[in-house]
Amino acid sequence: DIQMTQSPASLSVSVGETVTITCRASENIYSNLAWYQQKQGKSPQLLVYAATNLADGVPSRFSGSGSGTQYSLKINSLQSEDFGSYYCQHFWGTPWTFGGGTKLEIK
């Protein structure tokens, strides 16, 4: 099974700051990676697919990058609505595992 190591596990930031969350796969996943945002008590929402493609309706301050085993989600100029948890997920062969999550909190 491919393991997804996500970091950091938690992050305390202020509105307006820029943050980067990373996911490292235990083997090459050839950009078969998605990022999700989950707010407390809500279902996850797709932000990025195929490592770099923004899902419909996702603000341009979000961006995905990476290749091989290393991937990142960058959020420029954090807004109050961006706080919550973020997860990566690979799609390179089953099981489709998720990263452990990053909890983004307001400083």
Partner 1 sequence: QVTLKESGPGILQPSQTLSLTCSFSGFSLSTSNMGVGWIRQPSGKGLEWLLHILWNDSKYYNPALKSRLTISKDTYNNQVFLKIANVDTADTATYYCARITEGRGLYAMDYWGQGTSVTVSS
- Contact set with partner 1 (CB under 8 A): 1, 31-32, 34, 36, 42-46, 49-50, 55, 87, 89, 91, 94-101
Residue 50 Cβ vs partner 1, minimum distance, rounded to whole Å: 4
Closest to partner 1 by CB, 16 or 41? 41
Q: What does DSSP say about strands 10-13 and 102-106: parallel, antiparallel, or unpaired?
A: parallel
Query: What 3-state class would DSSP assign to 31?
Result: coil
Closest to partner 1 by CB, 60 or 94? 94
Residue 16 Cβ vs partner 1, minimum distance, rounded to whole Å: 28
Distances (CA, A) of 33 to 7, 15, 49, 74, 99: 15, 27, 6, 14, 11
Q: How far apart are CA 107 and CA 90, in angstroms?
A: 30
Q: Which amino acid is at 57?
A: G
Q: Is the separation of the CB atoms in 13 and 19 below 8 Å? A: yes
Residue 68 Cβ vs partner 1, minimum distance, rounded to whole Å: 15
Residue 77 Cβ vs partner 1, minimum distance, rounded to whole Å: 25
Closest to partner 1 by CB, 29 or 78? 29
Closest to partner 1 by CB, 62 or 87? 87
